[in-house]
Amino acid sequence: MSLSPETSARIRFLKAPKTDASGDAVQIEATVKEVLAAVRSRGDEALRDYSRLFDKVEIDRFEISMDQREAAVSDLDQQTLADTRFAIERVRAFAEAQFATLLPLDVEPLPGLHLGHRVIPIERIGAYVPGGRYPLLSAPIMTIVPAKVAGCDEALACMPPNAHRAMIAACHLAGADRIFLVGGAQAIAAMAYGTETIPAVDKIVGPGNAYVNEAKRQVFGPVGIDQLAGPSEIFVVADESGDAGMIATDLLAQAEHDARTRVGLITTDAKLAADTLAEVERQLLDLPTAGVAAPAWRDFGQIVLCEDEAAMVAYSDHIAAEHLQVHTLDPQATALKLRNYGSLFIGPMASVVYSDKCCGTNHTLPTMGAARYTGGLWVGSYVKICTHQWLDRQGVEKVAPPAIRQSASEGLEGHRRAAAMRLDRLQLT
């Protein structure tokens, strides 16, 4: 969605992004299409071929045994184990609180007309667990724990064969029913279509690289997906109360995820804008992950100076950032004015890293402007809200006549007859 002329006139870039994060979409689309077709037709054989081609490994058995899972947990140091369990409990507690708001419904809006809905867990979900350059132990927690809270019958996980061993432990502790060593677009194909080893799922969740994202897009329809997420994003809205050092630190913390991460500051204060720009450059000098963070900042980083708070809010809503931090004099008041974001971090003490890891909210969030129309992954992503209805004599007497007339006016004689039949039979009794 383009920026309105009114907002454009009230902002200026102290640092503008050099490019967008779209990548080579045509090449990725073609490669993924080929992978999906191969897995769909050749199953496990294709998975083994792609493991050799992409991961440089030979896979005899895709599924990780229970002994292997328990051994991976035993290999965790005690502090990592405790911290992983802490994160699981926080995510579970928040998911349970959210789930408590999803209630069945039965109402009688007219005498004899009964309407309602049920909250039905999805039977089997597949969680894609990314490998990447870091062992992100929080990733399977965010995708598997809510599925178990929602009551899904089965939650399976797929991860690249070269993923860090600790990721197996995280999947196990999070409650995965089955874990498979298959990554990339081929894992999405396996979960969508099923193979000799990996069963087809009803919905695929979890983030991945551009090929995983494209695979999710292509299989959507017969199988559900959570969203098309990535690359990651963080923006900060701030006034003169903002702390340049803290903001720069938060921007770079997210930028180290991926060289295509979008990061930015949206502010009403010229001094904070200039100070933050200088502070980012200073911190990059000794950041161990600068090899990733620096190109992200160079190519996709931005600092936007706004005339007033209204322009700041308007530009933020235009960006619709995945993670949006609020560093203003009255952050709660500013938060109420913001509309488009994946997750909101209100006040300088609410760092994105807390949600990324362990505070309880889900870190699988909409990117690239999708927050204009959707929120992130949550326990409600794992259930279906399915309606039902039933009518007694009074209900039919109220509903049938307008249904008969409407069907007739539309020229749908079969509909008219179906509506009239019930009324006619009731009138005979």
Which residues are identified as catalytic?
322-323
CA atoms of 131 and 260, how far apart (whole Å): 17
Mind giving me the DSSP string for 197-216? SSPP-SEEE----HHHHHHH
158 touches 128 (CB < 8 A): yes
CA atoms of 375 and 363, how far apart (whole Å): 11
Contacts of residue 244, Cβ cutoff 8 Å, sequence gap at least 6: 272, 275, 276, 278, 279
CA atoms of 401 and 423, how far apart (whole Å): 8
Could you give the C-alpha distances from 247 to 14, 235, 266, 329, in angstroms and in order?
Answer: 15, 9, 11, 15
158 touches 127 (CB < 8 A): yes
Length of the chain: 429
Sheet with 105-110: list strands edge to edge. 105-110, 113-121, 383-391
Phi, psi of 367 (to 5 degrees): -130, 175
CA atoms of 115 and 35, how far apart (whole Å): 45
Q: Which of 283, 55, 306, 84 has its CA nearest to residue 185?
A: 55
From first CA to last CA, the distance across the chain in angstroms is 60
CA atoms of 289 and 119, how far apart (whole Å): 44
